[in-house]
Each structure stands twice: as structure tokens, then as C-alpha cells.
Structure 1
């Protein structure tokens, strides 16, 4: 039986203007985030294998245009909904689900009835006669699977020097445990998995050791393997530059991003920094993750 404990600490620092001198005892929390950005849009983010998070903004002009086109009472007579649309690998819609929401809430959690699907969302109004009036369409996301992946990515099958670089890039080299120790731990875990796989693959033994082999197989007939990984996601302005553990990452066109990281035992420090397009403002978020795996 395996008990796995994860502890996450999230520390956010406000924006700061470059080139300004600050006293050592002064903490700049930055300007408060604006309540709106003057653009009608909605953004969809994956939270876990079965949940998504959506937030939106609707400008006053959009409200006026909708009332002008569909009637002054359209927001009273029609139901506000988020239409969840699942798509296939070719991005063709497979099905849609309507979730009633309150437009004043400006954000909502959406439940997916299966893991690993690709979705986008449409914020809109559903009239009594069944018509759907689109207000804004979100970006496309793919939910993670709720299990250990059966795909072995070749980038993890690498020599020790390259593995150290991977660990250092993910923040592993910046915590109390050194990269070499983490590399040894990963190697030991993979070796254990390989041994378990070989135990299951035993198909024949010699007649002289039949009794001993049967006893070993009985001892090893029940087994358990478990592991976990980390999904990091977020959003910022479309023109911003974002780094994770001092490594630049590519943003989606709407300013969102997501990464899948290995999660070995020990402490993992993940600094995330965004710099505005004009290079004048910076915001940082520091996430600390601790994993402890116990085998009994």
C-alpha cells in the first residue's frame, strides 16, 4: 500500500516597475488588478481530469448590441448558459452540454463526465424556443487523464547528465536535495517497476526449482504500482513573456498556458514570472510542492 502526501504553497508577488530603486524594508504589492479589460471574451482552463474553470468578461457595448438585436428583455426572457463542446482529434464537435450560469458571477466550474477529452466552451443565451445566442467562444483545452500514462516519452529515457538538466529545469536543482540524489531516486523507482514487470512475465521455470518458483510467485502474485505527476496551468496578457523555472514557455494565442511536469519525492520549487509586452511590469508566482511516498 502506498501513501502519498502532497503539500502545495503558493506565493504571489505583485508587479514592479523595472529600474526603480526600492528600500530594503519596502514590499511593492503592485497596482491592484483591474476589474475588467474592456473586451468581451471568455477563457477556459483545465483544473483536473474531470473539472474545468471558465471566466469571462462582457462589455457594456456587447450588452447594448444584444438588446438592440434581440430585444430589450433578452437577458430576462433567455437563460444564460455555458455550452460545453467536446471535439474529436480532428476538432469536429462530438456533443455539447448546456450548463446554466449567472452572467454576474463572471466565472464557473464545469464538470466533464469523462477524463482526457478536448473541449471548448461557448458563453451565450438560450431562448425559450431553443435558439442559442452566442456571446463569446473560449479557447480549446484537453483535460489530463486520471491515471498514470501508458505512453513512455523518450525524453525521460536519457543519460544521467541529460536527466540532471531536466531536473534542474523543473526546479529540482534548487531545493535541499541535489540533482544527483533525485536522479538516483528516479532510477531506483524505474528499476523497481522493471523488476515487477519481469516478475509478471515469468512463464516457465525448471522442474528442479518448481516448488521454490511457485512459492516466489505466490509471494509476488499481489502487487501495486502507483505514481503521480504535476499539471501546471495559468493565464496572463497575450503579449506577455512567461518563464517557468527561468525557462521561457510558449503561450496559447489567448494568453493561457499549461505544462506537465514530473513529480519525484522531495521538494519542488516552481517560480513563474510574467513580463509585460512593454517590459515595464513584472508579476511572479512561486509554487512549492512537497511529495512524500511511503511503501508498506
Structure 2
């Protein structure tokens, strides 16, 4: 369409800019058509009124302009049918996926979008739905980390972050042409974990249900402060089950008064050590004398069994020509203790039954 309309520089345009350029080209073509082909007057109607008849080219241009306007409106509309479902408040929830990724999920009512339109006034035409991400500093203040332009038709977005562990929060709203920002809702703060294999979420990121418990835990669900009520409510609505500690949400056979027939709880754990780092690409690295394969950027990661004792792990890196060698000694101790089992009284009432 850009080539046909003669739009220059379309290769470097963003989607919204290209749509605006196509709309302007269609309007110019419409004006040229009106100059070259004056509208043919209609024959007198029964009431004597005269109306101009659009040419086929003008009708096509009008149809395309209306389609572009509709598409722009849909891209700007981030609301859903929350009011039909009885939702009284807008919400944006941040979830921790791993050390370097957050997922934002939002639910906005159509009436809230209309309020934003009214508040922004003439700036609404160029306003863009935006997700603002803030880094929470040590003193509790927040600094703008990045702005992410989103669009209608979706209700979640993945955000890459750096410098783990860090704390973040988000605001959802519309940013106008004059850099004003109309905020619809704010999230609670979340903390990304220390990098490592244990925090990686496997499987399809589109299916939160498969990893709900891990997401809940990484988002602070089992910490002393706890997670945000918005995240807990969101997961419980989607999964149709309670989220929280097993002692608070789940009861086994003992809850039904069948302690004598219940199966004895078996439990065993083991541990692995993950060593990761970075060096010069094409260098030679060994861990405990065993060579390690480097990634193209010089990073590496090794998983090894962690025995129940103290051990010393030498990690050696040599440059490609073997002239320089550097060694780092890693001392690690594992001390595993098994506590006495605790059996709770099943006769007490279940607060969630």
C-alpha cells in the first residue's frame, strides 16, 4: 500500500506513523479526484434537494480511510469487557518470570478509556497506550526505568529487565503528544531473583497456569512481606483455586478424619551447584580440570552435584594462545539437616472449607 500510494521513507516508519502517512495519501488522492472529476449533480429528487455523487475512486478512498481510523481506534483501546463481568476497578499486575523477565497483565474498563480520552482532550489524537516501568530504589523511591508502547487486542506484555536482583513496579495509562501521562492503574512492587538455573520458568510463557506456583513464589508469594493482593486475586480467578502456603490452602486425608488410614509422607531432597561466568571468547576454561564449552559471547554455565560436605572447586581460564592464565577458587559447603516431622491436629476446622 505504501508503494502504491507513493509514501517515501516507509521502510523506517513505525506502524502508527505508516498508518497516518497512508491516511494522508488517501486524503490527497481524494482532493485530486475532486479537482479532476467534479461531482455529477443528482437529478432533482421529490423534495427538490441536490446531493453530490461520489466517484468510484472517492468511495474507495473513503472506505480505506474509515478502515484506517477503525484500526487506529482498536490499537488505542486497551479495555475489555470487565464492566460486563462486574469488575469495579482497573488493575495492572506484575509477575516475575525469571531474573531478566517480567510479565505485566492488565484489565481495564471501557469507561476508564473514555475518561482518559476526556482528560487528554486534543492530545488524545496522538496519545499512545503505554506501560511505564519503574525501578524501586533502596530508599523506597522510584525511578522511571523504561516506557513500553502497547496496543489493543492484548492484555499482557513481557518486559526484559536487567541488574538482578532488583525491584520494579508499573503504571498503565496513555502518553499524550505533549509528554503528559494519564495513569489508569498502578501495580505493586515485585523483586527479580538472583540469576541461576533454579529461577528459570520452562514451558510456554503463554500458559501461566503451568507455572503459577513458581511465578507466585518468585513474585513474593512466600516471602515475609508477601505478594500483592492483585496478583493473588488474578491467579486465583484464572486457576479457580487458592494460592498460598500448602498449610493454608491444602489438606490431605487427615482433614477428613482418616488419620489411621493415611499414607506415611515420604520426603527426600538433593542439591546441585550451578557455576556460571564470562571470559574472553575463544578462551579455554576448566572446572575441576574438566573443560567447559563457551557460548559465542564468552559466557558459560556448569551444573554439578553438590555433596553434603565442604568442597573446593578451582575454575581456570586461559587465553587462546596460552600465554595468560587466571584461576578462581570457589569454596562451597553443604550441611543438610532433617528435622523432626510435625503432625497437625486434623480435628481443627479448615478455614477454607
TM-score normalized by the length of structure 1: 0.42
Higher strand proportion: 1
TM-score normalized by the length of structure 2: 0.36
